[in-house]
Amino acid sequence: MSLITVERKILEKNDEIANLNREKFRFKEMFTMNLVSSPGSGKTSLIEQSINVLKHKLKIGVIEGDVQTNLDAQRIDALGVPVVQIVTNGSCHLDAMLVRDAFQKLIDLDLNLLFIENVGNLVCPAAYDLGEEMKVVIISTTEGDDKPLKYPAIFHNSKALVINKIDLLPHVNCNVDAISKNAYSINSELKIFETSCTTQEGISEWCEYLLSMVK
């Protein structure tokens, strides 16, 4: 009982800060996406491809979350986009306070779109609101087609699903239709994209969606 009470208090405090974050993002007219996936599903690669397509149409910023290292932030920085690295030193998710502090380094920039790349994990990030307008869950074809059934919370709490690495379909035991069916059984309103950051398949459709979400 005490553990449940402590967890509830932690989430309540997080939600308070998340709502303040959301107010700041909206005041700045900045559309914010929280990207969540297992490690290696291609979050950073998808952000890179999005930047390459949209950097002349939108002003984009990135907050990178990792357990260790700033390697992903270096990749984003090489594209000439403002990026802030959060190193959690072992924590399996970002929280609203970490995002609030990171955003202070971007707050004076006139950004249209902010990507928050969460720590690679499909469990903990589902419970933590960061102040984003929407969560996006990313899975790769190398993970199989049962991920939505195994980790329903993140699919329920997301507005879009990106099925990445579809160029590998001939080489893996994965059925994209089954992924979509399983995902829709959890959340019938999911917007689903099929992408390959290697062949660029589906990237233009994904970027058109991003443009439509930025007011």
Q: How confident is the model at residue 3 (pLDDT cuts 50, 70, 90)?
A: very low
Give the whole-angstrom CA distance, residue 25 versus residue 7: 26
* Mean of all residue pLDDT scores within the chain: 94
Average pLDDT over residues 26-45: 96
Residue spans per domain, the chain: 2-213
CA torsion through residues 100, 101, 104, 109, sign:
negative
Check pLDDT > 70 for residue 116. Answer: yes
CATH architecture, range 2-213: 3-Layer(aba) Sandwich (3.40)
The CA-atom distances, in angstroms, between 94 and each of 30, 49, 172, 203 are: 19, 23, 31, 26
**What pLDDT does 160 receive?**
98
Can you give the pLDDT at residue 99? 97
**Cα separations in angstroms, 36 against 57, 99, 107, 126, 173:** 24, 14, 23, 8, 23
Structure tokens at 24: 């700041």
Give the pLDDT of residue 177: 97
Confidence of residue 215 (pLDDT cuts 50, 70, 90): confident
The mean pLDDT value for 32-39 works out to 97
Burial of 124-135, coded b for 16+ CB within 10 Å and e otherwise, reads: bbbebbbbbbeb
pLDDT-derived band at 132 (thresholds 50, 70, 90) equals: very high
pLDDT at residue 1, as a whole number:
41
CA dihedral 58, 121, 184, 209 (to 10 degrees): 10
When pLDDT is averaged across residues 5-32 and rounded to a whole number, the result is 89
pTM, to two decimals: 0.93
Percentage of the residues of the chain whose pLDDT score is greater than 90: 88
The arithmetic mean of pLDDT across residues 18-36, rounded, is 97
Considering only residues 179 and 88, tell me which one the structure prediction assigns the higher pLDDT.
Answer: 179
Q: What is the mean pLDDT of residues 155-176?
A: 97
Q: What is the pLDDT of residues 44-81, one digit of tens each?
A: 999 999 999 999 999 999 999 998 888 899 999 999 99
The per-residue pLDDT for 7 is 61
Bridging pattern class, strands 134-140 and 60-66: unpaired
Helix (H) or strand (E) holding 68: none
Asked if 85 and 64 count as a contact pair (C-beta separation under 8 A), the reply is yes
